[in-house]
Amino acid sequence: MAKLAINRGSTANDGTGDNLRAGANKINLNFDEIYSAIGDGSSLSASIKVKDDSSTVSTIAANGAILGILGGSGISSTVSGSNITLSVDGSISSASGAQTLTNKVMSGADNTFSNIGNSSLSNSSITVSDGSNTSPVALGGTLTFAGTTNEIEVGESAGTVTVGLPDNVTIAGNLTVNGTTTTVNSTTIEVTNSFTFEGTTSDDFETTLTVVDPTADRTVSIPNATGTIVLKDTTDTLTNKSINLANNTVTGTLAQFNTAVSNATLVDTAVSTALDSTTSGNKLRFNFANTGSFPTASTYEGMFAYDVGGNHPYVADTGGWVKIITENASIADISNVGSIASISNGQALLWNSSGGRFDPGDVLSNDFANANAQDLGYLSYRSSSNTPTKTLTVTVATQTAEHYYNGTGSSNKYVIDGDQGPFLSMAPGIYRFDQADGSNSGHPLLFYRDAAKATAYTTGVSTNGTPGSAGAYTQITIDKDTPQVLHYQCSAHGYMGHALQTVGSEVSFGASNGFAIAMSIAL
């Protein structure tokens, strides 16, 4: 704070100066500042402390002790009046003085050297050597990098010297390349005499690749394959090779030729003209292990081949191999005949227009005044001892006028083998209503004694799976004890199906109800 002065007024006791209390307060504040500046606030310090560059602290008494300022190496001090003067001698360099520096390191990053003549340097040149010859080059002179024609070329740009090989390189002596891989990307490699291959072992034996002096431009192509080169004068086994007989001649006797063919006799030596197509007695085998071993049919159109595994002959056509029908063939070998593997006794081949072929099926004993099979439903006359399983395919579709209950109950109706809600006649046997098609989902087919599903019929009835999923079906066994009339309906929806009549049943549905239902069906 600034020093506080006591106001004494203009004249004694004029009432304009500080009173005693105010004056005493200013005195106390001034002394507080002094005691804080040169003491601890309550008492004055009797000494001062001095610290050097190494943080060494020295205490000097304030009551008459002397603080000395001494010079060091190259520095001297003098006192004159109230002034202390520090001076340097010649051992200390200054920015404007001329001195000789000894044993100093100058940073080129932080200093600039200029106007240094060669005479000012103890070494005024550098020495250039090629390993055998040396030459001095004066500082400030020119060091020239010279290339050689077709060997080394040198270029300089903006202080950068580039040394490289020219596009066309000539090596007067030998070239030795060491390493694992040498890559040459050239269109033409010209070798005057020959290539010499040392091999893995460095010894006195080498392989020399040479050419006969060409009289024209020649091209020898190395195949895109892995293998061994066959030489004219060596004995080798050829594999997968084609010999053009138009440009080559195979010499030797027929016996020698037969001997040369391994594992078989190509021609019977007793018949010299056996390969003559105009002569009888040819004996050529065309047997193959299976049809998969046959050659490409389009390539050998008209060729005969025999499938040993399947015991069938074939002839080649541009569209493939065609099976030849023989006395040992089955009717199933005909292309428009379907599978007969599951044909039953008494069935015949019936034309299937949707498949464009003949498929096994049941033969009706009477045409019923030219009615078709869908009109009749499933009619058969089987004895109780002959009960093969008959499968009927069930789907669900929107009702049409074809359905007996069109406009009644659910708008969805059962379709049996493509016919909407047919009336079925069934002889004794086992009948499986296949509900695997997805349209059957939520529509379980069951049997009832009435169309309204008041009484369910479960005798001889079994189900499997969930309608609409693979393997789902409802199955019923028809015998002499099955009621004469049953109704197949959806257990969840009304009037989706129709009725079925059992042939040969000994059980009537009931005198009155049976007659009413029979009359309804007849209508």
Inter-residue contact 461 to 476 (CB < 8 Å): yes
Give the C-alpha separation, 397 to 410, whole Å. 11
Q: Could you give the 3-state DSSP secondary structure of residue 78? A: strand
Give the C-alpha separation, 71 to 399, whole Å. 125
pLDDT at 63 (0 to 100): 67
End-to-end CA distance of the chain: 131
Segments of the chain assigned to CATH 2.60.40: 374-522
Average pLDDT of adjacent 10-residue blocks, the chain of 523 residues: 80 83 85 80 75 79 74 82 79 73 79 75 80 84 83 87 85 83 81 81 87 88 86 82 82 73 49 51 84 92 92 92 86 83 84 87 53 44 57 95 93 94 89 96 96 95 96 94 94 95 71 38 34
Give the C-alpha separation, 413 to 395, whole Å. 9
b/e map of 252-282 (b: 16 or more CB within 10 Å)? eeeeeeeeeeeeeeebeeeeeebeeeeeeee
* Tokens 């959806």, residue located: 490
User: 361-410: per-residue pLDDT in tens?
Assistant: 876 544 444 444 444 444 444 444 455 688 999 999 999 999 999 999 99
Of 435, 430, 429, 405, the closest CA to residue 417 belongs to 435
Give the C-alpha separation, 225 to 47, whole Å. 103
Inter-residue contact 500 to 416 (CB < 8 Å): no
Element of type H or E holding 20: helix 20-37
* Tokens 């004469």, residue located: 484
- pTM comes to 0.31
Q: Exposure of 288 by Cβ count < 10 A (0-12 exposed, 13-18 middle, 19+ buried)?
A: middle
Element of type H or E holding 25: helix 20-37
* Tokens 């406009």, residue located: 407
Give the C-alpha separation, 503 to 426, whole Å. 6
Cα distances from 466 to residues 397, 434, 460, 469, 473, in angstroms, run: 18, 11, 19, 6, 8
pLDDT at 388 (0 to 100): 65
Three-state SS for 351-379 is EECCCCEEEEECCCCCCCCCCCHHHHCCC
pLDDT at 278 (0 to 100): 62
Inter-residue contact 360 to 343 (CB < 8 Å): yes
Sign of CA dihedral 14, 15, 19, 22: negative
Tell which CATH architecture fits domain 374-522.
Answer: Sandwich (2.60)
Tokens, residue 191: 């070798």
